[in-house]
Structure 1
Amino acid sequence: MVKLIIDSKNVTVPEGTTILDAAEKAGIHIPHLCYLKDINEIGACRVCIVEKKGMDKLITACNNEVEQGMEIFTNSPKVRATRKANVELILSDHDCMCATCVRSGNCSLQKIANDLGIVEIPYKMIAEKNRWDKNFPLIRDASKCIKCMRCIQICDKVQDLQVWNVSGSGYRTTVGVMQNLKIQDANCSLCGQCITHCPVGALRERDDVGRMFDALADPDKITIVQVAPAVRTSWGEGIGLYKEEATLGRLVSALRCMGFDYIYDTTYTADLTIMEEGSEFLERFQNRDKYKWPMFTSCCPGWVRFVKSQYPDMVENLSSAKSPQQMFGAITKTYIADKLGISPEKIFAVSIMPCVAKKYECDVENLSDAGFGQDVDLVLTTREIDRMIRADHIKADDLKEEEFDDMFGVSTGAGVIFGATGGVMEAALRSAYFLLTKKNPDPESFRRVRGLDGWKEAVFEIEGTAIHVAVASGLGNTRKLIEAIRNDEVKYDFVEIMACPGGCAGGGGQPIHDNVEMAESRGKILYGLDRTANLRFSHENPSIQKTYEEFLEKPLSEKSHHLLHTNVNDWILNK
């Protein structure tokens, strides 16, 4: 243990602790911009500088370790003056149009500048000019980039994709796409983790809020919206609601206030996905010689983009089942339209998703099987729906609880846990057990696939047959798993992959809390909802049963294959 003094406080911490962490443990916050624990500890921004007694030169707190008997000043006149000058220099190379920035009010640079009392910038403004395809789902604004390197490190160290790179030196330093490629050609998975780890507004999703407001105002459009499972855990974060206040019923009420015509829960088609994907797995398992192994889940478009670009020979391993989002779109413009007695041509199908890659997925030309344009017309991230709530001046804490629209509002715990890593696997195994044995297992039987470990594996026995499964979240973990499969180091029957660490709960379209990872706490909410749900098996959802009885006939039927399955080989990536 090391004893030191920080701002006149006696502090004792383990040897090897950084000054930044030691100060935090003592309740002293040292401002910083570029720092991400264990990922980006390079002291690039020079905002976390502190003064060490007896030393003329200021030092960075994020990557300097404590020493026995040292005395540190985190806010001395010398520190304040230098920190202010450093931030002013950063601002001189930054587009400070905060009023039109999606991160205004939730920007680390903005907060630090305000806290330092910076009201003008004494240096010539040299913000980099912006050149980017604004139609791509991921937008980078070079004029806002502060060269903190977080996007590079998260993409390299966590997602193992190497999309971003730094070039130039001095004031010409810039961050861009590796090898000077266009982003469309860079094999980006669109996971959005670079967005959620950017401290400013240099990275964001394509903003589709304007298109959504136009559709809501169009009397010839019937807006039908679906809400993804993980959104219910996070939508209140961006508008200041406590978790207890941010109920699903209040979100439904907010959407009705905005003017959406019909509001449904994506868990309906999460259950439908389980019926199709679970049946497909059993069909493959019982005819092993006809297929490549293992079978991969296919509901995460970030993962689909990854496997298509990195391991194209393994695309055949993907389930042919569409994602719940796309199944809902196809069902909306066929079965739901018929049940509601409305013309499919008038339907504007919208998804609220915790994901940036879903914006790409809905635009894939092949995903238009209902025959009335794209099956899903527009995707909004959780952040975008929060912006819409604020734009409509909706006071969320005054909203009353409202239910989803009838008929397709029923959900199961199995569908809800789709939003957490391991949830798809667990839900599929619950129903696979039933499809094989005609009886339900204990719904907690498959909980070994839960948790935030980047790569989990388990063996489950169903009627004497061992099923080897694995779950990975985060594409760096995914690459390790796939390489182990290719090298015959492991053998699995069924593998679930989510591109984002922690699954959709930690998705790239979720509200941003700088330096705080929220996937675990959001995932716990989903598992809590499952535990208290009246229905915990996808095959017991009465809406699903009715859909097959009245429309689809049975899982893997000809109609199911046409509407609910896709050939991923035909998807085009560079759009």
Structure 2
Amino acid sequence: MSDITLTINGREVKANRGMTVLEAAQAADIYIPTLCHYPDLEPYGGCRLCLVEIEKMRGLPTACTTPAADGMVVTTGSAAIDSVRHASLELILTTHPCDCLECHRRHRCGPYDVCLRHVAVTDRCVTCPANEDCELQQVVDYVGVHKLRIPRDTRPREIDASNPFFTIDRNRCILCARCVRACQEITCIGTIDMSYRGYAMKVSTFGDLPLIETDCGSCGECMVRCPVGAMFPKDIIRPEREVRTVCTYCGVGCSMYLGVKDGKITGVRGVREGPVNHGRLCVKGRFGIAEFVNHPDRLTTPLIRKNGRFEEASWEEALDLVVARLGKYRGDEVAVISSAKSTNEDNYVMQKLARAVLGTNNVDHCARL
């Protein structure tokens, strides 16, 4: 229930006590640009783009770190704010491939469209894994940076492709530290951190080792929080639609969206409103679902051994054979093994069948992942 009232851009806004100014504005559908903020991460204030003016407060505080207070009067746009935002964003763009952000054709280009611009192939927006899903594009449009007044730093930076599931391209990194904070605050592992200082600063592992040689669990929580294309999955296929479901790898019950195209799963993302996982997934849920569902060796029909060879059969034929064979055994002569990739409901029915119908307590499963 809203228990404080503040004014943002002359509009009265209700907010819950404990919210920041940025959260109060977002809840009221008032846009404040930001690149380092993420809902499930602690306030950081690193990008300096969410600056606001607050009456009776000195300077330009960051909205993401300033607690909302009753009676507060906030202005999200002014000459002073726009000037500082513009300068901050220009500094961010000096180390980021930004030809796509300045191109007059960008709003007419979609993912994988043929690029008609006369720029380097590696800088084209259609080659970026975050094209049309890039928070930096939205911020650039809002702030209005169409040309850099500062010389760009075009020195090539390392690309870490050692992880089997995703790649780190430091040439696109804007040093927002979202990935670092996710690894520290959510997974509590701390595999990556902000290393070095000044122009040499980068996201790296301890000892600057390749990611595959560290204790990284490959959960991808860092990757999904990247606002640009600096961290991206190795297999990128844009889905036609999404289907909400529950992960079948274990009994936790994580909610997820499956991206589907041409009848195949192309990607997985967590459901932020999911009561169990709150949008978070492990390596099996994020990167393993599509692999086993789409695998060419996966059985799609029952097989019955005939004359020493497995042959496809109908479900009726297979079930009749199972009933006939099981009828020869009693009680503890039977054991039932269930699957961790089945739903909790299916596994419950399986153990019920074993105990109530077959009369055995020999029940096991393959959930030792």
Deviations 1:487-529 (A, max 9, x none): xxxxxx98969xxxxxxxxxxxxxxxxxxxxxxxxxxxxxxxx
Shift of 1:178: 2.9
Shift of 1:38: 4.1
Shift of 1:203: 0.1
**1:325 aligned partner:** 292
Q: Is the 8 A contact 2:244 2:258 kept in 1?
A: no
Aligned residues: 279
Q: Is the 8 A contact 1:108 1:199 kept in 2?
A: yes
Which structure carries more relative contact order (alpha carbon 8 Å, separation 6+)?
Answer: 1
**2:141 aligned partner:** 114
Whole-Å separation in 1 of the counterparts to 2:44 and 2:314 = 54
Q: Is the 8 A contact 1:33 1:47 kept in 2?
A: yes
Q: Is the 8 A contact 1:53 1:72 kept in 2?
A: yes
Whole-Å separation in 1 of the counterparts to 2:19 and 2:300 = 57
**2:76 aligned partner:** 74
Deviations 1:42-89 (A, max 9, x none): 111111111113445111001101234331101122212221221111
Shift of 1:132: 3.0
Tell me, what secondary structure is at the counterpart of 1:4?
strand
Compared CA separation, residues 15 and 127, structure 1 to 2 (3 A): farther
Whole-Å separation in 2 of the counterparts to 1:134 and 1:51 = 43
Whether 2:184 is the aligned partner of 1:156: answer yes
Deviations 1:124-158 (A, max 9, x none): 21256332354643200001111111111212222
Q: Is the 8 A contact 1:2 1:13 kept in 2?
A: yes
**1:534 aligned partner:** none
Q: 1:204 aligns with which of 232, 235, 241?
A: 232
**1:58 aligned partner:** 60
**2:326 aligned partner:** none
Whole-Å separation in 1 of the counterparts to 2:11 and 2:129 = 39
Unaligned runs of 5+ in 1: 210-226, 237-250, 256-262, 265-299, 305-321, 339-405, 409-416, 440-461, 468-492, 498-567, 569-575
Whole-Å separation in 2 of the counterparts to 1:26 and 1:333 = 49
Amino acid at match of 2:25: A
Amino acid at match of 1:184: I
**Greater Rg by CA:** 2
Tell me, what secondary structure is at the counterpart of 2:74?
strand
Whole-Å separation in 2 of the counterparts to 1:33 and 1:189 = 25
Q: Is the 8 A contact 1:163 1:177 kept in 2?
A: yes
Compared CA separation, residues 134 and 324, structure 1 to 2 (3 A): closer
Q: Which protein is richer in strand relative to its size?
A: 2
Among all aligned residue pairs of Structure 1 and Structure 2, give the percentage whose two residues are the same amino acid. Answer: 26
Q: Is the 8 A contact 1:32 1:47 kept in 2?
A: yes
Deviations 1:348-378 (A, max 9, x none): xxxxxxxxxxxxxxxxxxxxxxxxxxxxxxx
Tell me, what secondary structure is at the counterpart of 2:348?
helix
**2:220 aligned partner:** 192
Shift of 1:105: 0.7
Whole-Å separation in 2 of the counterparts to 1:54 and 1:229 = 49
Unaligned runs of 5+ in 2: 99-122, 238-242, 248-255, 266-280, 306-312, 316-338
**2:353 aligned partner:** 434
Compared CA separation, residues 335 and 324, structure 1 to 2 (3 A): farther
Amino acid at match of 2:210: K
Shift of 1:301: 8.3
Whole-Å separation in 2 of the counterparts to 1:333 and 1:37 = 41
Compared CA separation, residues 207 and 495, structure 1 to 2 (3 A): closer
Q: 1:177 aligns with which of 201, 205, 209?
A: 205
1:165-564 equivalent positions in 2, closer than 5 A: 165-207=193-235, 233-235=257-259, 251=261, 254=262, 302=283, 325=292, 329-331=296-298, 424-438=343-357
**1:142 aligned partner:** 170
Shift of 1:8: 0.5
Tell me, what secondary structure is at the counterpart of 1:143?
coil
Output the TM-score relative to the length of structure 1: 0.42
Output the TM-score relative to the length of structure 2: 0.63
Whether 2:128 is the aligned partner of 1:101: answer yes
Q: Is the 8 A contact 2:160 2:169 kept in 1?
A: no
C-alpha root-mean-square deviation of aligned residues, in Å?
Answer: 4.2
Shift of 1:122: 1.2
